[in-house]
Structure 1
Amino acid sequence: MPDYTVHIMQLREDNYYNGLKLGRSLRNQPILKTFEAATKPEIDTEQLKSIYNEFAPQLLSELEGLAEGLEMPFPKAAALLGGYDVPKIAAMGCSAMITPSYYVRNYDFTPAFYDGYFTAAQPEQGLATVGYNLQAIGRHDGVNEKGLAAGLHFVSFDGYRTGLSPWVGVRMILESCATVEEVSYMLRHIPHAACYNFSIGDARGNMAVVEASPDQVITRAGGEAAIACVNHYEALTGKNRPSIEHSLGRKRYIDGLNATQLTQIEAFGLFKERESPLFFTDYDDLFGTLHTFSYAFEEGRVMTSLAQGSALDFSFRDWVEGKDIPAAELTGHID
């Protein structure tokens, strides 16, 4: 049962320097070879800059810092890590539950395409955020200083086109949005490459699933109790994959939980424990649980762990106030 490790990065400089530091850390890491095999050698860099400048100009500065830290020309770094015009990547699975009190989610895929970074960042521009990196600049999931939590969920490649990856979409959401309404607006205007769900919860107790496809975006607001988000559409059903039984089964399980009676700790345990119906070990088939992430809206508390690993438990509000996370890495175990 091999171990795997995620490095915890804590960045409090300007956007360019934060990118520079991450680039230096990534330099010569094996994951770069994986990215090279999964991305194009060249993209329309000017189009990428135009999109970034419209939705998150500060991330363009970070991408420039990444390029310098990696010691590569900006066009190459943009193609490798910019999250724009990325070829189809094998489907990933994710399950989330959002209530007015907390957000909790599992990320399921393969460790072969896993950055291995958990980053807390407080840049000069953009909101302070914490979450798991994907393709360096993007995020699987996370939360920002306004208490907005978000995560991505693959649905299908129906209508696939040149556009932004959902992990850069998550990063843009966290960098600039405070409410579900603001997220819904941004996701209606971002050029999406593929079909993904975005699970969203905010500090006002609002929750939603945004069904985002290349040609249509619909927001499904949650009720007073809870909302589940998995890997199929409930409104744009014609865009689902032919077989969604796995996703339907996970949603039935989450819907059957008495979510509002669960504490954050209890819900976190239901997602992270190996015996959970939401925990999977099919790593060779691209469906193994890699991490669990949770946030409590009122307390500002982050709980997270890697598969079969110990939990990291800290106040993100305290981190924003200057109290560093007292850990350098997370460790998980894969069967």
Structure 2
Amino acid sequence: MYKKEELVVRIVELRGDYFQMGLEQGKELNSLSGFLQIDQLREWTSQANGQKSKEMVEVFSPELFQELRGLAEGLNMELESTIKLFSGYDVVFPEMGCTTLVNDGYYVRNYDFSPEMYDARLVFMRPCNGYTSIGFSQQIIGRLDGMNEKGLVVGLHFVNDEHKDEGFIATTIVRMLLERCANIDEAIAFITTIPHGYCYNYSITDKSGKSLLIEASPQQQVINFTDPLICTNHFKSERLRSKNRTNIQGSVKRMEYVSSLLTRELSPMSIYHHFNKENSPLFFKHYKEYFGTLHTVVYSPKDLSVIIGIGENCTPMIFSLKEFIEGRLTLPEYIKGTINQAPRK
């Protein structure tokens, strides 16, 4: 029997320098008792080297380092402890699922995980000295997916945690890409230099309409330009196929279903409903097994619009990143949706 629950995603608006935005988020978290799973984060980062994490963040993203400084002050926490918990460097993280299609100038995605470990935050960020962006946060500074003012869109897809090495988790890498890259070429240049902690796929597109799949392991990254782009949770390249999990049937099945949609002419709104309806082969309810659909999002790089729904059969909200940049967008406090949790398998 399914258990019906309301899922509330808060909308966070951040403007200013990175230290100020970190400070604001630290104070926000302090005021939200029980929002952040600190005990879980401590478990995931128990083996991390705080000093090494600090050094790596400073090298690869001085902007995020300043945000972490502000976050530490807002949380009344030591800087090294804050960086260890939130930087995403050398972190253990559970499996998750996601399905993405990039086609005809839009990027649509379902994100599948557990509501218990979901930030449930949609962040609009306008830094003084970086690209403005919109994206769903994870571990506060990280992003599950997002789009910046230049039209670069990035999302992550978990593949395997059995080939772990010291490096950044994908949520931090997505955030860094949105922060500093204006297009696919810049994204390739950056993502192939940063140390990767796990095996992940990255689905990327930009305002030009080009789409890119990056299969990334700690040892190597495989670049594949593909149009249309369909991405789930396994590696397809011969060079990295051996790093897949033993059972990838579900991932393959989702990819095949998305391929079948390409025979139809679909607008961004119609493709949203194909992903978001409760009986879609792309919508899952196994939240207790970390595989339940939490949000559906459609990013349109050319006009910087975003269609968002939380949970299943959600009447979507539409936002304009362009209007946010121009100061013409009035943001609500939250987006609500409904999830129906299936019994544990």
TM-score range, shorter chain: over 0.9
Are 2:336 and 1:331 aligned? yes
Q: Which deviates further from its counterpart, 27-36 or 145-154?
A: 27-36
Rounded to whole Å, the distance in 2 between the matches of 1:207 and 1:100 is 10
In structure 2, the residue matched to 1:165 is 169
Identity value in percent: 36
Alignment-mate amino acid for residue 146 of structure 2:
G
| 2:73 maps to which of 54, 68, 72 | 68
From the superposition, tell whether residues 259 and 302 of structure 1 become closer, same or farther in structure 2 (CA, over 3 Å).
Answer: farther
How big is the shift at 1:34?
4.7
Match of 2:203 in 1: 199
126, 132, 151: which one aligns with 1:128: 132
Distance between the aligned counterparts of 2:42 and 2:61, measured in 1?
27
Query: What is the CA-CA distance between 1:159 and the residue it aligns to?
Result: 2.2
Query: Which residue in 1 is equivalent to 2:343?
Result: none
8 Å CA contact 1:141–1:293 kept in 2: the answer is: no
Please, which moves more after superposition, 267-276 or 242-251?
A: 267-276
Matching residue of 1:112: 116
Aligned residue in 2 for 1:183: 187
- Partners of 1:42 and 1:75 within 8 A in 2: no
Structure 2 residue matching 1:232: 3-state secondary structure: coil
1:180-200 superposed Cα distances (whole Å, 9 cap, x missing partner): 121112111110001000010
- Quick one: distance in 2 between partners of 1:298 and 1:5? 29
> Is the Cα contact below 8 Å between 1:109 and 1:289 reproduced in 2?
yes
1:4 equivalent in structure 2: 7
Q: Give yes or no for the alignment of 1:311 onto 2:316.
A: yes
Within 2, Cα distance between the matches of 1:325 and 1:142? Answer: 19
Cα gap change, 1:239 to 1:330, in 2 (>3 Å): same
| C-alpha contact (below 8 Å) 1:163/1:191 kept by paired residues | yes
Letter of the 1:270 partner, please give it. H
Alpha-carbon offset, residue 30 of structure 1: 3.6
> Shift of the alpha carbon at 1:29?
3.1
Q: How far 1:41 sits from its partner (Å)?
A: 4.5
List runs of 5+ in structure 1 lacking aligned partners.
Answer: none
CA distance in 2, matches of 1:12, 1:288: 32
Q: Deviations over 1:164-186 (max 9, x none)?
A: 01000000000011111211121
Do 2:100 and 2:110's aligned partners in 1 also have CA atoms closer than 8 Å?
yes
Match of 1:278 among 268, 282, 294: 282
SS in 1 for 2:37: helix
In 2, are the aligned partners of 1:200 and 1:209 still within 8 Å (CA)?
Answer: yes
Distance 2:323 2:264 in 1: 26
Confirm or deny: 8 A CA contact 1:192 1:213 kept in the other structure: yes
Q: How many Å apart are 1:42 and its aligned residue?
A: 6.8
* CA deviation vs aligned residue, 1:181-223 (integer Å, no higher than 9, x gap): 2111211111000100001010011101100100010111113
Aligned to 1:233: 235
- CA-to-aligned-CA distance 1:132-152 (integer Å, 9 cap, x gap): 000111000000000010100
Aligned to 2:220: 216
Map of 1:32-181 to 2, 5 A cutoff? 32-41=37-46, 43-87=48-92, 89-181=93-185
CA RMSD of aligned residues (A): 1.5
Q: Is the 8 A contact 2:100 2:107 kept in 1?
A: yes
How far apart are residue 260 of structure 1 and its match? 7.5
TM-score by length of 1: 0.95
- Once residues 296 and 116 of structure 1 are traced to their aligned partners in structure 2, the CA distance between those partners, rounded to angstroms, is 22
- From 21, 29, 37, the equivalent of 1:18 is 21
Give secondary structure in 1 for the equivalent of 2:140: coil
Q: Secondary structure at the match of 1:64?
A: helix
Residue 53 of structure 1, CA deviation? 2.7
CA displacement, residues 114-155 of structure 1 (integer Å, 9 cap, x when unaligned): 112110000112211110000111000000000010100000
Partner SS, residue 192 of structure 2: helix
CA distance in 2, matches of 1:277, 1:242: 21
8 Å contact from structure 2 (residues 153, 178) kept in 1: yes
Q: Is the 8 A contact 1:34 1:113 kept in 2?
A: no
Q: Give the CA deviation at 1:109.
A: 0.8
CA distance in 1, matches of 2:263, 2:26: 40
Structure 2: state its 5+ residue gaps.
Answer: 341-345
Secondary structure in 1 matching 2:134: strand
Q: 1:66 to 1:35 in 2, by over 3 A?
A: farther
Q: Per the alignment, in what secondary structure is the counterpart of residue 81 of structure 2?
A: helix
* Distance in structure 2 (CA, Å) of the matches to 1:14 and 1:51: 21
Q: How far is the alpha carbon of 1:273 from its aligned partner?
A: 1.4
Deviations 1:69-97 (A, max 9, x none): 1111111111111111112x221000000
Q: How does 1:258-297 map to 2 (within 5 A)?
A: 258=262, 261-297=265-301
Amino acid at match of 2:324: W
